[in-house]
Structure 1
Amino acid sequence: MKKMFLKSVLFCFYLWRLVGVFGDDEVKSVSVLEGDSVTLNTSLTELTDDDLIQWRFGNEITLIAEITKQANRIAVYDDVRRFRDRLKLDKQTGSLTITKTTAKHAGRYEVEINIYSRSFFYLTVYARLPVPVISRDCSSSSLSSSSCSLVCSVVNMSHVTLSWYKENSLFSKISVSDLSISLSLPLEVEYQDKNTYSCVINNHISNQIQHLNISKLCHTCSDSVHCCGSTEAVIRLVLSALVGMATVIFLVYDIRFKIAESDHARIPLSQT
């Protein structure tokens, strides 16, 4: 009777252990900057003689690397094209390192230790951030007022936040998650403003800062070159010239038409 009870207890303990291992769906989140290396760690400090470590990737759980300690065998599978020449296995712990990461390495990873222990990772690869660009907002309605309209912008970014800081305090911000789009964040300052402003783009692991030089970008708008830069000024001058030419052509045509009508009215009717 005691033996049966003991066997039952041991069997229940075994089932609890299996449920504990396979029923745990916790996924560890790991982040890396594009181009850098990242290591996915096992829970081991040293492999034993009978350990078998297998790493898999993606929803198809494709085998990408494994260690068979007993056979003293380490294998990385270069036929999985996205990982070619980018995988390294630690022969002491079984941890997996991915080098020169790109966006195609993002996703779900699974490590199986022998047949009874599994761990899951989700790798996010962040693009390297550009330095934000601060420019005069020439389309703003306050172009000729006492204030200066500016805009900070970045192009084709995802999973980032673009922010204006006044001194060291957050002034305004805008965020984007999944879609890769262009972001713009406006700022209105007085011409004589002596505060320090900075535009910052950041994700979870890095940031880039551009400091605002008010005296360089903000001038009175009596001269369009000062307000918007030479390129915008040239565009405005060209558009003004085209509009002027179109107006002159219309006036000339209208005058000629009226003269022609007047001459036609002076011709006497022929006698029958």
Structure 2
Amino acid sequence: MVGPGGGVLLLVVLTGLVFSEEPAVTKLDGETVTLHLNQTEPRFKDYLWTYGRHNPVLAITIVTQGKVTPVNGTRFGNRLQTNIETASITISNLTVNDSGIFLAQILTETGTLLQRFNLTVQDNSVIFEKVLEGNSATLDPGIETLQKDHTVRWTKGPDFDGTLIAQWKDSKIFINETFKDVLQLNERTGALTINRMTRSLEGFYCVKNLWGTDPHILRKYLVMVYKLVPKPQISSAPANFTQTDGICSVSCSARNAPEVFLSWYQGEKKIIEISDSDISVNLTLPLQIQSQPAVIYICRAANPVSDATVTLNSTDWCPPHHSDHQSMFWILVATVVVVAVVAFLILIICLYKRSNRQGAQGM
């Protein structure tokens, strides 16, 4: 039966032995996958592979007596290669639409051996690497141990055809002259280390891991460099914030920069947080606090690679206002008493002088 796209649709039921658990295989868009059989025989002569998004019913390769029978109209076309001796298949330049179930059916003298594979192809999204200025960053190519037929190519630029900056090929390491002082390539894993990071080294770094000539693993990194966050400062809030009995307002401020967040914490609990994409404007975050009970507040400025904090004790920063009122009351009372005493003395003096004048006039 002819299936969608002209492929051969197999609707046969085979009785056999599933000699392996269904392995889950995950790859990224653009990579290459090889599906290997768990087999002990040195060579299989008759077998076929089928594929389907959910049910593997579409034939994609058929081998009879050690010869491949072409299957036209499959979604893989010339991206699919069959290893006749091992019965494995290799699909290059994968797309997310290649995800699905693959079934190998091996015909032997004793019956049919079956093995399924569940392939998931994910979008090759950008991996963000955020680094503190002056530190080092190591970018993982996704290989545990390099093999002789591996080639690892690191390029700088937004795609996989950018400037070649480092390469491992035929067990030899190449480093671009422009980057010799800052780059290191691990000869065992192909990992790329960027030393003494500066803003000029920011940008996209792409790695293409070739197995033979096929892109086995593709990864794209975006390296972003940040400075240390300066320590925030606490001050009295602007005059437009009211101050009432036992309550006062404080303000925390910090110099703004990319991805900086300014937060107030009460203990470990975040109370409020702000950020601003306009880095020309400093961050300011006011907060009203009570003097009682005594509470420790923390103002924290942070970016993805560093943070800085300053603490505030509510009692030290905002003493109880009612104590001030009591002091003012007694000061006022004392002032009134002093004024009254002075006035009384002045009155006595005036009366005394007046009495003396009257006595002098009567003589």
Matched, 1:103 2:199: yes
Query: Could you report, residue by residue, the CA deviation over 1:40-96 in whole angstroms, capped at 9, with x for unpaired residues?
Result: 11122222223322111123722211122x2x43222232xxx46111100111110
Q: How far did residue 143 of structure 1 move? A: 5.4
State the percentage of identical aligned residues: 31
Q: How far did residue 216 of structure 1 move? A: 4.3
Structure 1, unaligned stretches of length 5 or more?
A: 221-272
Matched, 1:210 2:310: yes
Tell me the SS of whatever aligns to 2:275. strand
Paired with 2:191 and 2:306, the residues of 1 have a C-alpha distance of 25
If the length of structure 2 is used for normalisation, what is the TM-score?
0.52
Q: How far did residue 119 of structure 1 move? A: 1.7
- Residues 178 and 29 of structure 1: is their aligned pair in 2 closer, same or farther, counting only changes over 3 Å? farther
Letter paired with 2:69? F
Structure 2, unaligned stretches of length 5 or more?
A: 1-61, 82-89, 97-120, 322-363
In the other structure, the counterpart of 2:329 is none
Equivalent residues of 1:164, 1:172 under 8 A apart: yes
In the other structure, the counterpart of 1:90 is 186
Equivalent residues of 1:59, 1:108 under 8 A apart: yes
- Please point out which of 93, 101, 107 is paired with 1:18: 93
Q: How far did residue 178 of structure 1 move? A: 6.9
Matched, 1:5 2:104: no
- Residues 217 and 195 of structure 1: is their aligned pair in 2 closer, same or farther, counting only changes over 3 Å? closer
- Please point out which of 150, 164, 171 is paired with 1:63: 164
If the length of structure 1 is used for normalisation, what is the TM-score?
0.67
Equivalent residues of 1:136, 1:217 under 8 A apart: no
Query: Could you report, residue by residue, the CA deviation over 1:232-257 in whole angstroms, capped at 9, with x for unpaired residues?
Result: xxxxxxxxxxxxxxxxxxxxxxxxxx
- Residues 167 and 96 of structure 1: is their aligned pair in 2 closer, same or farther, counting only changes over 3 Å? same
Equivalent residues of 1:110, 1:119 under 8 A apart: yes
Equivalent residues of 1:157, 1:181 under 8 A apart: no
Equivalent residues of 1:32, 1:124 under 8 A apart: yes
In the other structure, the counterpart of 1:116 is 214
Paired with 1:20 and 1:141, the residues of 2 have a C-alpha distance of 59
Matched, 1:147 2:214: no
- Please point out which of 125, 128, 134 is paired with 2:228: 128
Higher strand share: 2
Alpha-carbon RMSD across the aligned residues, in angstroms, is: 3.2
Q: How far did residue 110 of structure 1 move? A: 0.6
Deviates most, 143-152 or 197-206: 143-152
Paired with 2:141 and 2:79, the residues of 1 have a C-alpha distance of 27
Equivalent residues of 1:159, 1:178 under 8 A apart: no
**Would you say how many aligned residue pairs link Structure 1 and Structure 2?**
216
Matched, 1:46 2:145: yes
Paired with 1:122 and 1:161, the residues of 2 have a C-alpha distance of 21
Paired with 1:144 and 1:104, the residues of 2 have a C-alpha distance of 52
Tell me the SS of whatever aligns to 1:156. coil
Tell me the SS of whatever aligns to 1:45. coil
Q: How far did residue 111 of structure 1 move? A: 0.6
RCO (CA 8 Å, sep 6+): is it higher in 1 or 2? 1
Equivalent residues of 1:158, 1:181 under 8 A apart: no
